Structure 1
Amino acid sequence: MGTQSADTWRSPKGLLALISLLLCGLLWLNGLVGSLERPSVGDALELRQLELAALAEPALPMPWRSPLLGSDPLGQLRQRLAASAAAAETPLPDAQLTTWGLLEQLMGRPQQARQILAGLPNGVLPPLQQLSPLQRRLQCELEGRSRSQCSQPVAAAAALRRLLVITLAPAVLMLLGGLLLLRQLWLWRQGRLAPVPPLQGPELSLIDVTLVVAGGFVVLGELVTPLLLGPLLTRALGPLAADPPLQQALSVLLLYAVLMLGPLLILAALLRNRGPAPRGGWLQWHWLPLRQTVPWAVAQLLMVLPLVALTGWVLQHLWPNPAGSNPLLEMVLTNANPLALALLASTALILAPLFEETLFRGVLLPVLARHWGQGSAVVASAAFFALAHLSLGELAPLFVLGLGLGWLRLQSGRLGASALLHSLWNGLTFANLLLLAG
C-alpha cells in the first residue's frame, strides 16, 4: 500500500501536485509574513466607535453616560487620535486631524492645536458645512456657546442608536449562543445528540484535492490571475479613475470571479469521468427545504460567535496590536459609494461563501475525512481555511470559525448550511462596518 501511494505521488500528476503544494506553502508563508506590514483596521474601528460615543453623549441621561460611554468620551477620543498619530508612518487623514485639533483647542491646548491643524490644506479648518456633526459641535463650543446649545439632538440620537446596535446586539447574540452551546454540551453528555448523517463528497484522491486547492486556488488564483489579469483590469477600468471607490470595488469583484475559475474548472475536469454523482450531487448542497437549512445555519452562527469572540479576546491580550487585517474591511469602512458597497457586498456575502465552502467543506473536508477521519478533516480544513486568508493577526479567530463551519457540514450533511453560515458571518461584519462608517 505504501509503495502504491509513493508511486502515485511519483507520477507526473503527483509531481505536479507536489510542486503546487510547495508553491502554495511559499506563497502562504510570504503572505502571512507580509500581512504584518499591512495596517490593522482595529484602530480605525476603535476611532469610529469613540467618535460615535462622543457624538451620542448629549442624547443620554447623565446617570447612563458613564456606564454606556465611559467617563470621558472626548478625552478618550483625543488620546486615541494622539496614539494613532504617534504610531502612524503617514499623517492622519484630514478629518481626523480636524477632530484632533478641535479637541486640543477645547481642552485648552492652543499651541498643540495649531501644530496639528498645520497639517491641513493651507493650515486652516474646512468650511462649517464640510465638518462632521461632532466637529460642528466642537466648533460651536469653542465659540463660547454651552454644550446644550451645541448638542445637535438629531445627530446625537442617530449616533446613540447606531452605538447601541453595535455594542448591545453582539452581546445579546453571544449570550444566546452561549446558552445554545451549554444545551449542546448537555445533549452530548446525555447521549441525545442527533446522529451524524453519512459524509458524502467527491470521489477524489489526495493528489486530486491538492491540485484543486494548492494548484487551482493558490497558484492559479492567487498568483497567476493577478499577474495576468491585473494590468488588463487596470486599463479596462481606467474610465472609472475619477471614482476610485467604484473602480476598486469592481476590480475586487472581477478578480475574485476570475480567481474562482481555475479551481472550479480543475474540479469539473477531475469529476467528469467519475461516474454518476450520488443523490444530491457531489457537493451535497441540499439547500432545500430552507426550513431545515436556515435553522442549522443560524443556530451554528450563534454558537460560534462566543467562541470566536473569546479567541479574539485571548489574542488581544497576548498580541495587543496585531497587524494584517483584510483590506476589504478598510474598503467598506471608508467607502461612501452605494454602488461600490453593493459590489463589495456581492463579493463578501455571495461569491466568497459559495466558493470557499465549495473548496474547503465541499471538496477538502470529505476527501480528508476518508483518509484521516472526520475529526482530523475538520481541523485540517479549518487550518487551510484560516491560512488562505493570509492574515497572521486573524489566523486564530478564522481557525475557530473554520471549525464551526466544518462541524456544521458534518452535523447537517448540508454544504448549503455551511455556505449560509459563512454568508451570515460576513454579513454581520459588513453591517457592523456600515454602522460604524455612518
Structure 2
Amino acid sequence: MSSSSRQTSPRWKVLLAALSLVLAGFIWLSGLIDSLSRPSVSPSLTIQQQELSLLAEPAIPPSLRELLLGKDPRSALLRALEASSLKELSDRQQLLLSLLRFDKTPPIVDNRWSDDPLLMRFICEGRKGQVADCINVESALAAAWRLAISSLLPVLTVLLGSLLLVVQTWRALRGRSEVWPIVQGPALTLIDLALLVAGGFVVIGAVGVPLIALPLISSLTTEMKSPRREAVSVLINYSMMALPSLLILWRQLKSLPRAQAPIGGWLQWRWRPLPEAITSALSGWLMVTPVVVAISWLLVRLVGDTSGSNPLLELVLESSDQLSLLLLGITAVVLAPLFEETIFRGALLPILAQRLGMFAGVLLSALLFATAHISIGELAPLTVLGIGLAVVRISTGRLLPAVLMHALWNAVTFLNLLVL
C-alpha cells in the first residue's frame, strides 16, 4: 500500500462516508426484509420442469421413465399447479390445471392455444380417450432433448466440479498447489471504499438514479408492449445505475499517482494471456457450482423456500420475445459481470484483503456482493459464489478471469431458463 493511501482523510469526507454507510445499511436491510414478500421463481421453475417431463414422457424409453421423470409426472404437475394460488397462475396454467382435473367433459378452449403441444394433447385425450392417438412425436422428442439439457447437464457439471474440487483440495493439502501472487489493487483508503460502495453503488446508484431514470424509461417505453417494455427498462435502468459508482471509481483512480500503479494497472485487468483466463474462469465455475448447489439444497431443506428471487429470472422464464430475451441476456451476461466485478473484485476485494487479511477480505467482499442483490433467499448461495469469484481473482492476480467466470455463471443460468 502506498503512502498516499495512509494519509488522513478530510473530516467532511469521513462524515460523508459515515452517512453513506448508515443510509446504505438502512436501504439494504429494508430491501432484504421486503424480499421476503417478493414472489419466488422456484414454483414457476417447478411447474415448467414438470410440464417438460410430461411432454417428453412418450419419447423416453419405458425402462428409464421412472428414473428420469419420476413415478407419475402427470400427478407431479397437478400437485405443482395446486400448490400455487389461482391468482399466481397464468391463464394458460389455469387452463392446464382444469384439464388435469376434469372428469368427463374437457373445458372449453379457444384457438389461441392451438400451438401449445401439451394443452392440445390433454384436450385430445379428453375427446378421444386414447393417449397414444394424441401424442405429438416431434414435440416429445424436442422436449426430451430440452429435459436432458436442463436436468442431465447440471448433474454432470456438479459431478465434474466435485471431482475437480477434491483434486485441488488434495493438492493443497499435499502442498502441491500453485503459490498465489501478491494481492495488488487500488491504493485507496477504507473511507474511499465506503464512498464508492455505500455512497455510489447503493445510495446514488440503487436509490437516487431510479428516481431520475424511471420517468425517462417510462417515456421511452410508452409505445412498447410487454415483455419488451420490461426488458428495455431493465437494460436502461441497470446501465444508469452503474454509472455513479463507475464515475466515482474513475475519479478516485485518476487521483492516484500513475508512477505507483502496479504492472497491469490499479484494477489488474491484465487481458493477456486470454487462454489462461478462460481456463481459470471455467475451472472456478466448475468448482463453485457443486458448493452453491449443496448450500441451496440445504437451505431449502432447513428453512424452505425463502422467496425473494431476482425479478429478472421471472422475466426470462416468462418471455418468448426474442428481442426481449436478447436485451435481458446482454444485461445479465455482459453488463452485470463487467460492472459488479469491477466494483467488488477490482476495487473492494484487494483493498479489504490488504487491510483486513486475506480470509476476512474474501469473506466480507463476498457477503457485500451477495447483500447487494437484495434477496434473503439468494444470500447464502451468492455469498458462496462471491467467495469463488474472489478466490479466482486472487489466485490468478487478474480481474479478467473473475469477469469471465461471472459471465459464465449468469449465461448458464440464463440458458437453463430459456430451455425451460
> What TM-score comes out, normalization by structure 2 length?
0.96
Distance (Å, rounded) in 1 between the aligned partners of 2:110 and 2:23: 51
Q: Counterpart of 1:314?
A: 298
Q: 2:11 maps to which residue?
A: 11
Instruction: State which of 81, 106, 111 in structure 2 corresponds to 1:127.
Output: 111
Partner of 1:72: 72
**Alpha-carbon distance in structure 1 between the residues aligned to 2:294 and 2:189:** 36
Q: Which residue of 2 aligns with 1:262?
A: 244
Aligned letter for 2:250?
A: A
| Preserved contact between residue 8 and residue 14 of structure 1 (Cα < 8 Å) | no
1:227 equivalenced with 2:219 (yes/no): no
Letter in 1 for 2:97: W
2:412 corresponds to: 428
2:371 is the counterpart of 1:387: yes
Q: Deviations over 1:11-30 (max 9, x none)?
A: 10010000000000000001
| Counterpart residue type for residue 243 of structure 2 | L
Does residue 150 in structure 1 map to residue 122 in structure 2? Answer: no
Tell me the percent identity: 45
Aligned partner of 2:200 in structure 1 is 216
> Given the alignment of the two structures, is residue 102 of structure 1 paired with residue 99 of structure 2, yes or no?
yes
Q: How many residues align?
A: 414
Q: Which residue of 2 aligns with 1:41?
A: 41
Determine the C-alpha separation between the residues in 2 that align with 1:423 and 1:196. 23
Three-state SS of the structure 2 residue aligned to 1:385 is helix
Whether contact under 8 Å (1:229, 1:255) holds in the other structure is: yes
Alignment of 1:16-415 (within 5 A): 16-85=16-85, 90=87, 92-105=89-102, 108=103, 124-127=108-111, 130=114, 132-240=116-224, 243-276=225-258, 277-415=261-399
Asked if the contact 2:316–2:325 (Cα under 8 Å) also holds between the matched residues in 1, the reply is yes
The separation in 2 between residues aligned to 1:270 and 1:10, in whole angstroms, is 15
Unaligned runs of 5+ in 2: none
**What is the alpha-carbon distance in structure 2 between the residues aligned to residue 75 and residue 375 of structure 1?**
48
**What's the secondary structure of 2:344's corresponding residue?**
helix
Q: TM-score scaled to structure 1, two decimals?
A: 0.92
The 1-side partners of 2:89 and 2:350 are apart by 48
Counterpart-to-counterpart distance in 2, 1:157 and 1:359:
45
Q: Tell me the CA shift for residue 233 of structure 1.
A: 1.4
Between the aligned partners of 1:159 and 1:91, the Cα distance in structure 2 is 25
TM-aligned CA deviation for residue 144 of structure 1 = 2.2
Which 5+ residue runs of structure 1 have no aligned equivalent? Answer: 118-123
Q: What amino acid is aligned across from residue 237 of structure 1 in structure 2?
A: T
2 CA distance for matches of 1:83 and 1:335?
23
- CA distance, structure 1, for counterparts of residue 171 and residue 247 of structure 2: 42
Structure 2: how far apart are the matches of 1:257 and 1:129? 37
Distance 1:71 1:149 in 2: 22
CA distance in 1, matches of 2:252, 2:53: 55
Q: Which amino acid aligns with 1:14?
A: V
**Does the aligned pair in 1 maintain the 2:104–2:126 contact within 8 Å?**
no
The Cα of 1:320 is off from its aligned counterpart by 1.4
Distance 1:236 1:331 in 2: 19
Q: CA deviation at 1:321?
A: 1.9
Shifted more, 141-150 versus 204-213: the winner is 141-150
Secondary structure of 2:84's aligned partner: helix
Q: CA RMSD in A?
A: 1.7
3-state DSSP class of the match of 1:32?
helix
Aligned counterparts of 1:402 and 1:97: Cα–Cα separation in 2: 39
Deviations 1:352-390 (A, max 9, x none): 001100111100011111210111100000000000000
